[in-house]
Structure 1
Amino acid sequence: MHDLCIIGGGVAGLATSIFTARAGLDTLVIDGGESILARNASLENYPGFPNGVDARRYLQLVREQARNAGATFELGRVTSAERRDDTDPEAGFALETDGGDPIEARRIVAASWSDSEYLVPLDVGRTQRGSKHFVSADEAGRTAVDGVYAAGRLAGEPHQTIVAAGHGAKVGLAVIHDSDTDFYHDWVAPEGYFTGRGRDVPPGCEEIDDDERRERDERARKRMRDAFAEPLDDQPTMHPSVERD
């Protein structure tokens, strides 16, 4: 029984997984394959990249960050999601996939734009706009079904990477809150920030001394140098409706 199963390995689902895994929740991401962001030729409006960044490289780094946080991944597509026990809301959910064993989770996050047919048995409330279906959710991604959340474009958020990431993080915080995990706000502070004022370090926070700060900074800079040392060989994915020779 996983604490959380995130359905969709795009930006929103990955952002959710980073926060929930760092909070200590057993987080599984069901990745249906390529994110729609892989169609982007150059991601140029995401803060922190003054000249833009290859969208596929960005996705690789976010997936790596999720794994480093402790999230696990399974490749596949969820075909149905149902309550394990209709009389017990705490019993969690059972998910069927197209290629693997059934998966059980206490909570699920739907971040699988634009596929949400697997949610029909749960009656979360879907609305149709043109050929697409959206899941009804509040600002934090909570749906009408306790334990079921929706993140990113599937929840009606604007179709921009920074928005999807931010909403995914917000949903992750809602999951953490609802799970009663002892969590503050995930902050690495300099040594003495709390203890120097006679306070205990709050849950979810960490104090590090200057040597540790420098070591972490060096590891981070090295990883980014390695990540951007060479261009990616593969090409952005074209929209499936475009014919190519």
Structure 2
Amino acid sequence: MEYDVVIVGGGVAGLSAATFTARAELETLVLDAGGSLIRRNAHLENVPGFPSGVNSRQFSDLLVEQAENAGAERRESRVTAVERTDTTRDDGPDGENDANNANNATDANDRRFRVQTTDDDRVTAEYVIAATKNETAYLDGIDGVGLIDRGKAFVDTDERGRTGVDGLYAAGRLAEKPHQAAVCAGHGAEVAVTLLEDDDRPFYHDWVAPDGYFTDRGREVPPGCEEIDDPERRRREADSLKTMRERFSEPHPGDQPTHPSLREE
């Protein structure tokens, strides 16, 4: 199957990135091996908007729901390999490829990645975001990926999450971001917006504005933004309140995970 974006890892950074790319109408697949670190927290108290904290499993579930509502697809599967499958253009006078052409003579239509999972599924994508914790073995088959070993493995990126490979990004903890949920969520969003910029998408806003906010000032509604009237605003607020009442009416039913080293054999 073919996607625009495949995200490896279904933790805070990966799901945050998926929400942005899917909302921008890129076909997005999240491959989640499970066991996100955030679910081990006894009580999550470092996320803005929850003054008394929030159950970490509930928060994780809400991130999944938000990404899916934005249009992302999520599968529980472990990725074993990511490979480049580019096709190159004949730019030379005798059909030879111009070795000086950037990114191995590929453009957005040529660049592809093949992603292999333990379920023997193979999917292809134009972009890949690596958002696992410190797992990097699945990137071994790609030339140009810079790895950093500081007792744990990280992927070398620029300040926006770009790796040395065109179309491949790293987000969150894997990109050396601090071990904080708020930071990783923000970085996942930033990496997604960077990807959208690199895809030459129009400037992207994740913003719902009141009716007339732009148009009454003679401005076009920016890409990714929408204006809604008061009845629609009230409808969405009511839906939001209903959702939150349902999700928080009872304690989260999931068991409290712990570190693998503390589990009984």
TM-score by length of 2: 0.89
Q: Corresponding residue for 2:51?
A: 50
* Percentage of identical aligned residues: 53
Give every structure 1 segment of 4 or more consecutive aligned residues whose post-TM-superposition deviation is greater than 4 Å: none
Q: For the residues of structure 2 that align with 1:98 and 1:244, how far apart are their CA atoms?
A: 25
Q: 1:54-133, aligned counterparts within 5 Å?
A: 54-85=55-86, 87=88, 89=106, 90-123=110-143, 124-130=145-151, 132-133=152-153
RMSD: 1.3
1:186 aligned onto 2:206: yes
Q: Corresponding residue for 1:241?
A: 261
Quote how far apart the aligned CAs of 1:187 are. Answer: 1.3
Q: How many residues align?
A: 244
Q: For the residues of structure 2 that align with 1:174 and 1:184, how far apart are their CA atoms?
A: 10
1:163 aligned onto 2:183: yes
Structure 2: any 5+ residue segments left out of the alignment?
89-104
Q: Deviations over 1:39-83 (max 9, x none)?
A: 100001211111100000000011000000000012111111111
Aligned pair partner of 1:227 in 219, 236, 247: 247
Q: For the residues of structure 1 that align with 2:180 and 2:159, how far apart are their CA atoms?
A: 17
Quote how far apart the aligned CAs of 1:235 are. Answer: 2.4
Q: For the residues of structure 1 that align with 2:161 and 2:207, how far apart are their CA atoms?
A: 23
SS for the counterpart of 1:241 is: helix
- Quick one: which amino acid aligns to residue 151 of structure 1? A
Aligned pair partner of 1:201 in 211, 221, 224: 221
- Quick one: which amino acid aligns to residue 211 of structure 2? E
Quote how far apart the aligned CAs of 1:101 are. Answer: 1.9
Q: For the residues of structure 2 that align with 1:10 and 1:185, how far apart are their CA atoms?
A: 23
Contact 2:57-2:254 at 8 Å conserved across structures: no
Q: For the residues of structure 1 that align with 2:115 and 2:166, how far apart are their CA atoms?
A: 16
Q: For the residues of structure 1 that align with 2:32 and 2:148, how far apart are their CA atoms?
A: 24
1:147 aligned onto 2:167: yes
